[in-house]
Amino acid sequence: MLPVETIRQLSCDCSLTRIVFGPDSEIIDLGTKTRVVTPALRRAVIARDRHCVWPGCNRSAAWCNVHHIIHWADGGETVLTNLCLLCRYHHTLTHQQDTQNRLDQALQEVPASTGRTKP
């Protein structure tokens, strides 16, 4: 039997429904029915975050996963304002018990000009 945190982490990437295309035919919004982060959306997150957003961590985007700030299973959308870069280590930590609260708290300190949704 797998712990809930592990299942939630593994479920970060699957399933599609509604798809919204941008002017260059790139997918820009997949709505709440999907967990998949498109290449275009990943590039946008990388351009904004540049590296792992965990306080004190500066691992490059190449070592990062795109993480839903409000988890997909909790109604979080797969949109730029609900995504952030986390290195694999901090992504795993985030999906463990009580760690999400620390990330939420850290993201509260992010300036509003980034356009990121505050949990």
Instruction: Note the pLDDT of residue 116.
Output: 58
Indicate yes or no: pTM above 0.95: no
Instruction: Note the pLDDT of residue 86.
Output: 94
Are the beta carbons of 17 and 34 closer than 8 angstroms? yes
Pairing of strands 83-87, 64-68: antiparallel
d(C-alpha 6, C-alpha 15), whole Å: 18
CATH of 18-107 given 1.10.1060, 1.10.150, 1.10.30, 2.60.40: 1.10.30
Instruction: Note the pLDDT of residue 11.
Output: 63
Burial of 58 (0-12, 13-18, 19+ CB in 10 A): exposed
Q: Which regions of the chain are under pLDDT 70? A: 2, 7-19, 29-34, 97-103, 105-106, 109-119
23 phi/psi in degrees, rounded to 5: -65, -25
